[in-house]
Chains A and B, each alone.
Chain A
Amino acid sequence: MKKVMSVLLIGLLSACASQTTQPTAVEDKSAAQAAPAAAADPNLNPILRDPNNILSKRSVYYDYDSFVVKNEYRPLVQAHAQYLRDNAGARVLLQGNADERGSREYNLALGQKRADSVKNAMTLSGAKDSQIEAVSLGEEKPRATGRDEASWAENRRTDIRYQGE
């Protein structure tokens, strides 16, 4: 048995002007404390953007259901750890990501494991804990939106972002 009822709503609701809330427009004392600029900071070391330098490479990829930093990404992670060690004022945000399958909150925790794995590798290579914040974007910010293994692989990733980027 299948019944279909289509209920048209157009124009029936009260015609108030659209009222929506932007985060910046509401009372929010917490938002003021940390709002990194969206545009690249001019003080950012250009070496971090030099395509010929390994430091311009910012993504670590993972196997399915894995959090292990693969050997091919070790040089990349070590180079960033070295940079942090040599530049005590530098700060990085590590953003872990997961593919879309399954619970959003569980995937957030999976992405966290990935970011944590990069953080651990960096601190073992001499970066300070206080220079690194490992966070997760879960499945919420997919770089690839397809529903296939290639897209999912692209989204099993940790990105390295320097403060000011």
Chain B
Amino acid sequence: MLMRSRQPSRHTLTLVFLLWISTPLQAALDIEIFGGGATQIPIAIVPFAAEEKLKQGITAVVAADLQRSGLFRLVDASGPALRDPRQVVYSDWKNRGTDALVIGSTVVLPDGRVEVGFHLMDVAKQVQLTDYIMIVPADRLRAAAHQIADIIYERLTGDVGVFSTRIAYVVKQGNKYALQVADADGFNAQSIIEYSEPIISPAWSPDGTQIAYVSFENKKPVVYVQTLATRARKAVANFKGSNSAPAWSPDGKKLAVVLSLQGGSQIFLVNADGSGLQRLSQSSGIDTEPNFSPDGQSIIFTSDRGGSPQIYRMPVTGTASGTAERLTFEGSYNVSPHHSRDGKSFTFIHRNGTRFNVAVQYLATRQVQLLTDSRFDESPSPAPNDKMILYATEVKGRGILAVVSSDGKTRQELSMQVGDVREPAWGPLPRVR
């Protein structure tokens, strides 16, 4: 299991450009993990040497990331810090029951930056799998830890890690609504817009630099696109009637939006700057929640054309079409579809009796799997590696975010201590530069 290899070259430079003006978040983040598959990789992470001198430790962040994925089981790693692979006594670690071992160290440089290094060892084969050294500003230590978790994850699973990605979501606190962006573990949250009217349906541009969303600040829903770096924003769909449900095309050039401009709620395409409106769907009922396939050739969406809300698929062509292929047949309420990034399946919300749950359906086999069993789950958003799905749920009447592994075996809750959190959207992988 430890032998699938991929060199972590992609990580070298990703730290540099994630520059954020941080809003202090006076909050505690509770991470609750339920369940766990039988095939978890046991891993021991020895506390990084000298990290107690830093304002932000590395070890706990790496451990939480790996554990949250559902693919790892943390093995007791208490004991003295180890800086050098030659210090490792493999038989001791074998006795503790671990397959993988991480040792690491931190050094504060004269200019205040921190050198963080680590080694990942295969305990059974008694060899080093990878090692890495990075130098980061002292306020980027969490990002460095996420990057280390990504390298370990990739080396041991063969899949791309998503711990350095960001998420967007809406927080309602009293009568105030904030669209926030945070690290994938919920930390470093900051508001990109706040208002006293609702905000829904945030959607990341494929390059991660912009977010489309729906704001009700003008007594009706209007679709905006906001650039994160400059905070400049533009109404891209502000037509007569309602404007909602933005979805980016994979090339980032167009948005699918839902307008009531020509009657009903119908899907249109518009350029990302708001020009070039073009109708896509043509039905007498509701067509909404469009989502592009990864190749941009088709969309899946929710429609009530058959009498109950179900998920359909139609090609994206130059002309409006009333023809679509129905994809869901189980139950009378299937909504909010999102393609997996590999295009082979889609996640959605399935009404299961009186419950609303996250489900996944495979396009080839039409096989449906329910992933959650809570009461009110909404807005599923797959991770860029398809291994986890972020969604909104409710605990004791309060909205929180949760993550479920794609096999449904591991769930965790991300809970801010204040406010009602909803409408999550998982951002893309950081771009390689």
Contacts and interface: CB of A to CB of B under 8 A. Distances in A.
A23 B221 contact: no
A86 B379 CA distance: 45
Contacts of B192: 21
Given A12-B55, A95-B220, A137-B216, A104 B379 contact: yes
Contacts of A161: 219
B97 interface: no
B60 A36 contact: no
Contact of A105 (B200, B233, B422): B200
Nearest to A27: B232
Interface stretch (A47-55, A73-81, A128-136, A150-158): A128-136
Contacts, number: 190
A35 interface: yes
A1 B194 contact: no
Given A4-B32, A16-B23, A23-B193, A104 B242 contact: no
Interface in A88-103: 93, 95, 101-103
Contacts of B25: 9, 13
Contacts of A18: 23-24
B233 A135 contact: no
Which size bracket describes the interface of B in this complex? 35 or more
Contacts of A95: 219-220
B279 interface: no
B14 interface: no
B23 A20 contact: yes
B21 A31 contact: no
A36 B218 CA distance: 8
A103 B377 CA distance: 9
Contacts of A104: 200-201, 378-379, 422-423
Interface of A: 1-10, 12-16, 18-23, 26-31, 34-36, 93, 95, 101-106, 108-110, 112-113, 116, 133-138, 140-141, 147, 161
